[in-house]
Amino acid sequence: MKRTFIISLLVAMALSVQAQKRITVIGEVENVADSTVFDLMETDGTGATAIYTNDDNNGRVINGRFILVYKCSRTDSRHFSLTSSSKGFSQRIELDFWANQGDTVYIKGKGNLLGNWEVQSDATEQKEWDLIRRKCEQELETHQQAIWDYETYRSYRRNTEMNEEEWDKTSIILAQKDSIVKQTSTLWYKKQLEVMKHLPFTDFWMDHLTTILYMNQSSFKELEQATKDVYAMHAKRINQHPDGKQVISKIFPSSVKAERGKMCIDTKLFDTNGNEFQLADFRGKYILLDFWANYCGACLAAFPHIKKIQEQYADRLVIISISVDKVNTWKASPHIRNISWLNMNDGGGIHGGIAYSYDIKALPTYILISPEGIYKERLNDSMLFNGTLEKLINE
């Protein structure tokens, strides 16, 4: 009897742990066709990291309701996006929300513009996001409608037989609709920044600001003044924040870039315990900088090979993996347990800090620095595997 009780208890605990890694979404919708399927994605503000459905009815609308059970791929996941690729919806129109793992989230919506749907969640981030979103409802709806008009017209062009003259005319109309999407996007983000000027500084506030900067790389000029105004009101707190360098580097970009054959650009780096380092600390050995991110599959796949290189050249080479993730995402990543070499961050993300200095555009990217501190070579993942690194070290 005692043994049976213990087994039952262990099973219950295991099921409880599994439940804690999931979120359940219960939706009530109007003007949404039955059999429409909703999907869920995890995100850290820089893009989706996973999408999950577990059976044919998961997320499927039946009589105006749906239930979607999502198994989180990361222990730190809190930011999610509801989307649908079913007829009548565009995957570019999403409903962002925040939730604690293990929670049930309730959603009410009408029509196909998901962004303004109502979300009931216990996550503190959701409450802060709602404060911003409610003051920007008109701008968000206008932007979503512009996306829908563009996607609908693009689909019409693809599925309609046309002669060359008709195709050229419709291409002009499509370009005009795309321009409206960009214009309404800028207005949507400008309005958010205006609202944020008058809200208290919190971790969510900072996280959302870095997300806005990341999502608007091509249109930053239109947002530059609005971003500077927000920064001016919270400069001290931003400067002290672990991810502050992402914001500062974007608003006040440095003109200094690393050049091969010249002295490397150095900066302050920190590990997960907060210990600070500089590249100069490792002078006398080759240094390999490994720029990676939690969401980069190729980066993670390279870790076993990097470990072999570390072991083979331990007497001549120092490897430093530099995460371009937001600091909290990096610290909570389950993948850092696979890094047995130096694991650091500088809070600059991929568009700021040391990644900006070395013009990192794709991941993974590797930078080799000589024992004298000279920026020697830039390598991609194939060069890491084909012996190029070993050849450079042995020159």
pLDDT at 217 over 80: no
- For residues 83 and 81, give the distance between their C-alpha atoms in angstroms, rounded to a whole number: 6
- Calculate the dihedral angle through the C-alpha atoms of 111, 116, 120, 126, rounding to the nearest 10 degrees: 150
For the chain, the structural domain boundaries read 2-123, 140-241, 269-393
Q: What integer pLDDT is reported at residue 48 of this predicted model?
A: 55
pLDDT at 211 over 90: no
Q: What integer pLDDT is reported at residue 15 of this predicted model?
A: 38
- Written as six digits, the tokens of 68 are 């979607």
**Confidence (pTM):** 0.80
pLDDT band at 47 (very low <50, low <70, confident <90, very high): low
- For residues 289 and 299, give the distance between their C-alpha atoms in angstroms, rounded to a whole number: 12
Q: How far are the Cα atoms of 48, 294, 312, 330, 332 from residue 272, in angstroms, in the given order? A: 24, 15, 25, 8, 10
pLDDT at 255 over 90: no
Mean pLDDT to the nearest integer, 309-317: 92
Looking at mean pLDDT, say which of 135-144, 211-220, 294-303 comes out highest: 135-144
CB count within 10 Å of CB 44 equals 25
Specify the fold of 269-393.
Glutaredoxin (3.40.30)
Mean pLDDT to the nearest integer, 364-384: 93
Q: What integer pLDDT is reported at residue 55 of this predicted model?
A: 65
Which CATH architecture group holds 2-123?
Sandwich (2.60)
Mean pLDDT to the nearest integer, 79-84: 93
Mean pLDDT to the nearest integer, 350-375: 93
- Written as six digits, the tokens of 122 are 């216990």
The sign of the CA dihedral 328, 332, 337, 338 is negative
- Written as six digits, the tokens of 181 are 């999407």
Q: What integer pLDDT is reported at residue 294 of this predicted model?
A: 86
Query: pLDDT tens for residues 110-148?
Result: 999 999 999 999 999 999 999 999 999 999 999 999 999
Residues in CB range of 159: below 8 A, 6 or more apart: none
Query: pLDDT tens for residues 142-200?
Result: 999 999 999 999 999 999 999 999 999 999 999 999 999 999 999 999 999 999 999 99
- For residues 296 and 348, give the distance between their C-alpha atoms in angstroms, rounded to a whole number: 17
pLDDT band at 249 (very low <50, low <70, confident <90, very high): confident
| Domain 2-123 and domain 269-393 have a common topology | no
Please provide residue 66's backbone torsions phi and psi, each rounded to the nearest 5 degrees.
-145, 150
- For residues 279 and 266, give the distance between their C-alpha atoms in angstroms, rounded to a whole number: 6
Q: Report the Cα–Cα distance between both ends of the chain, in Å, rounded.
A: 70
List the one residue out of 371, 392, 370 whose CA is nearest residue 383. Answer: 392
Look at 335 and 106; give whichever has higher pLDDT: 106
pLDDT at 253 over 60: yes
Q: What integer pLDDT is reported at residue 382 of this predicted model?
A: 84
Q: What integer pLDDT is reported at residue 69 of this predicted model?
A: 93
